[in-house]
Amino acid sequence: MSHRYYKTAHPYYVGVDLHARSLYVHVCDPAGTPRLERELPASPAAFLDAIKPFREGLVVGAECMFAWYWLADLCERESIPFVLGHALAMRAIHGGKSKNDRLDAATLAGLLRSGYYPMAYVYPKAKRDTRDLLRRRSFYVRQRAQLVAHVVNTNSQYNLAPFGKKLGYRGNRSTALLDRFEHPSTKLSMQANLAMIDAYHEQIDAMELHLLRTAKVDDPVTFQFLRTVPGISPILGLVMLYEIDDIRRFPEVGNFLSYSRLVLGTHESAGKIKGLAGRKLGNAHLKWAFSEAASLMLRSFAPAKSWMARQSRKRGTKKAHAILEAKIGRCAYHLWHKQVAFDAKKFLAS
């Protein structure tokens, strides 16, 4: 995944090493001369007061970490250019012999000044909360799955008869399951699991209803186009809609596939490829969504099954599945970009 670098010249460059309750500010001019180095509380008033002498033409840069939302929103309200730094690409910060807040802030300002500041996407405030709720829903689904797995594994631990139906469905769970276990402690453990599973189920249902209603307001047309692709369920369509946000930020389909972790980069030297790289660069949520979409497509779309069988004989099942994921990713990019529905003939011919 190639990175975009911030190249715009400014009279002042502000590097902010941001933490939950504090931040360190480094301001320098185009020559690299430090104009301000100060630790501040993480509050809008303190930050604005510190940079007040340099407001004309400055740019603010901060690393992408969990607390960047408020600083980006503050800069937007105050009409201050804000650049979010790509954390994994900022090796200059993490690779030095010494590391502290003062040095990190100075490095951020220096990267801004030099034109080698790797940029991350500043997700718009309007849809950010909905995206975070969608990610939280995914977390709850994983937690629920762990609880279901614990019930199944405990059943196997005592060599009891397998459950006849999947416990992931609410109708297949009941307190009658507790009669399988003899010891009171095991019964209580399973009872707690079932109660937590039901609680997660209720919250997940409420979240999904809210998310679907919100998507119909934010971008109903694109959401419906994505849903025309076999394998893209409502939840997967939501993940794609809110993780991508705006397809125009990817100038080419290759940029989009790279961001979605559907293609790998290469390490090359002296004309020789040393290996593949970049598995951790990109959006993990999109990678998961396209992987799930490929699996669901193989269940419901007969032409995809035939294609998969041919590719598996030629390349192996794992490689063929990865190619199918990339095909769906390419399809989603063009559907969104052109605002058209899924075309099976074009999909299979590509």
The pLDDT tens digits along the chain (350 residues) read 557 899 999 999 999 999 999 999 999 999 999 999 999 999 999 999 999 999 999 999 999 988 999 999 999 999 999 999 998 888 766 666 778 899 999 999 999 999 999 999 999 999 999 999 999 999 999 999 999 999 999 999 999 999 988 888 888 888 888 999 999 999 999 999 999 999 999 999 999 999 999 999 999 999 999 999 999 999 999 999 999 999 999 999 999 999 999 987 766 666 666 666 667 788 999 999 999 999 999 999 999 999 999 999 999 999 999 999 999 999 999 999 999 999 998 898 76
CA distance readout (Å), 136 to 140, 192, 222, 242, 336: 6, 22, 23, 13, 25
Would you give the distance in Å from CA 109 to the centre of its chain? 26
Q: What is the distance between the alpha carbons of residues 7 and 30, in angstroms, rounded to a whole number?
A: 12
Confidence at residue 110, expressed as pLDDT on a 0 to 100 scale: 94
Q: What is the distance between the alpha carbons of residues 104 and 112, in angstroms, rounded to a whole number?
A: 13
Pairing of strands 272-277, 265-269: antiparallel
Pairing of strands 58-63, 34-41: unpaired
135 Cβ neighbours under 8 A, 6+ residues apart: 285
Q: What is the pTM of this model?
A: 0.89
